[in-house]
């Protein structure tokens, strides 16, 4: 009986003890509680729609606008061995006749693409598409064909300008490639494998890609839109059907598209094209120097705070840099007040300077700060430059 009478008091005491313990745990030990149960702030959308609704369900309008201006380019190279010197000997020819003149020539055909940029018949393509070609045939989507002449080429950006004599040509509209953002939708139009015009869709994966070894001056748009063999020289367009690039190359171990393609930005192509039409070639500034990018190891050895800039590895005798007093071993950190990132950046800055312009260089010479002014001249033509009237 006594136990039954005391039992309620025991239960009440236990309950009060638990309450006091909980109060002590949450209020007397806040730091321990917070460490074990940290509050993580996240951003959570309140929109129930998973897929954005502002994108078009079809890009047919963009393709309809741009596709007629994309052409197929068929090039022919005549390949054959040289005649043996004996075939030029009259006595030898007397016995064997002219029919034994040596190996006959064969024709090597290849396919590419191009873009009509003017109703006057001017067509943009890659230099590597038409390089070394003896004949160039252009085929339009409406079935018309014509022989094309080379107006001029720029191997250092892999751009070529052709011209055909056809009336009522559909020309493409240039877009602003410098406003492209990673994630923008783009379409690649071309004629891969000679199967006819095709369209592939993707997004911009990156902009201002360089150090690829594709050309001397690199500023590529990277895209996962498939750029297969034969697409070279074709159009990369935006969702409005405007030209934002010229398809140039793919990165592939198998020869097929693996989602890494490169296109020359439309703004770069337009600048080179205007110079070719006006001067017959691209005009660039030149200093006559060999340069090497400052690596982390070089920066440490020279006591530089960061790995950027260039070191002069060589100076061409009697060139603009030589006349200005630039010396081998000079470290150049700024050009016209703008920091130099690496060798590619320095090369592009010099090239964008008009011949005859002043270039102000500053950096370090023999451990001491120095500055110097040089006057650029016109960059010499590369060996594989080609131009026709």
Please tell me what DSSP assigns to residue 347: H
Q: d(Cα 170, Cα 117) in Å, to the nearest integer?
A: 8
158 carries an active-site annotation? yes
Q: Which of 110, 113, 232, 257 is catalytic?
A: 232
Q: Report whether 215 contacts 200 (CB < 8 A).
A: no
144 is written with which tokens? 């018309």
Instruction: Give the number of other CB atoms < 10 A from CB of residue 214.
Output: 18
Q: Which of 110, 113, 158, 224 is catalytic?
A: 158
Q: d(Cα 267, Cα 231) in Å, to the nearest integer?
A: 20
Residue 81 vs residues 77, 102, 104, 110: alpha-carbon distances, Å? 13, 8, 7, 20
Q: Which of 69, 128, 177, 342 is catalytic?
A: 128
* CB proximity list for 341: less than 8 A, separation 6 or greater: 308
Burial (CB count within 10 angstroms: exposed 0-12, middle 13-18, buried 19+), residue 241: buried
Please name which of 291, 290, 284, 325 lies closest in space to residue 308, comparing C-alpha atoms: 291
Report the b/e string of 126-144 with b at 16+ CB within 10 A: bbbbbbebeebbbbbbeee
Question: How many whole angstroms from its chain centre is CA 251?
Answer: 12
131 is written with which tokens? 């390089």
Q: d(Cα 11, Cα 106) in Å, to the nearest integer?
A: 107
165 carries an active-site annotation? no
User: For the chain, how many helices (H) and strands (E)?
Assistant: 9, 21
Q: Are strands 289-293 and 198-209 parallel, antiparallel or unpaired?
A: unpaired
Q: Report whether 341 contacts 246 (CB < 8 A).
A: no
Catalytic residues: 128, 158, 232
């Amino acid at each position: 009986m006594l136990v039954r009478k005391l039992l309620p008091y025991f239960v009440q005491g236990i309950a009060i003890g638990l309450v006091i313990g909980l109060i002590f745990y949450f209020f007397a030990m806040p730091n321990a509680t917070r460490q074990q149960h940290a509050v993580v702030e996240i951003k959570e959308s309140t929109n129930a729609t998973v897929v954005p609704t502002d994108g078009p369900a079809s890009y047919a309008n963009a393709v309809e606008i741009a596709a007629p201006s994309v052409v197929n380019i068929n090039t022919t190279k005549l390949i054959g061995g040289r005649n043996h010197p004996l075939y030029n000997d009259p006595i030898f020819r007397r016995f064997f006749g002219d029919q034994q003149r040596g190996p006959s020539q064969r024709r090597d055909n290849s396919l590419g693409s191009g873009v009509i940029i003017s109703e006057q018949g001017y067509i943009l393509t890659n230099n590597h598409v038409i390089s070394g070609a003896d004949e160039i045939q252009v085929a339009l989507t409406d079935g018309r064909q014509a022989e094309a002449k080379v107006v001029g080429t720029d191997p250092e950006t892999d751009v070529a300008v052709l011209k055909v004599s056809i009336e009522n040509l559909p020309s493409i509209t240039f877009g602003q490639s410098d406003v492209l953002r990673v994630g923008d939708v783009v379409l690649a139009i071309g004629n891969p494998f000679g199967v006819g015009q095709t369209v592939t869709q993707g997004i911009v994966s990156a902009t201002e890609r360089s150090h690829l070894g594709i050309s001397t001056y690199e500023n590529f748009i990277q895209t996962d839109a498939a750029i297969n063999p034969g697409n070279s020289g074709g159009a990369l367009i935006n969702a409005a059907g405007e030209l934002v690039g010229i398809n140039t190359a793919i990165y592939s171990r198998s020869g097929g598209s693996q989602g890494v393609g490169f296109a020359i930005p439309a703004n770069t192509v337009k600048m080179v094209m205007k110079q070719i039409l006006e001067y017959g070639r691209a005009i660039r500034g030149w200093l006559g120097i060999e340069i090497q990018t400052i690596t982390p190891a070089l920066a440490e050895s020279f006591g530089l705070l960061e790995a950027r800039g260039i070191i002069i590895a060589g100076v061409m005798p009697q060139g603009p840099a030589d006349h200005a007093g630039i010396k081998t071993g000079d470290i150049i950190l700024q050009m016209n007040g703008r920091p130099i990132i690496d060798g590619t950046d320095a090369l592009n800055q010099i090239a964008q300077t008009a011949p005859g312009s002043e270039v102000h260089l500053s950096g370090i010479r023999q451990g001491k700060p120095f500055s110097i002014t040089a006057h650029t001249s016109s960059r010499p033509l590369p060996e594989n430059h080609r131009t026709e009237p």
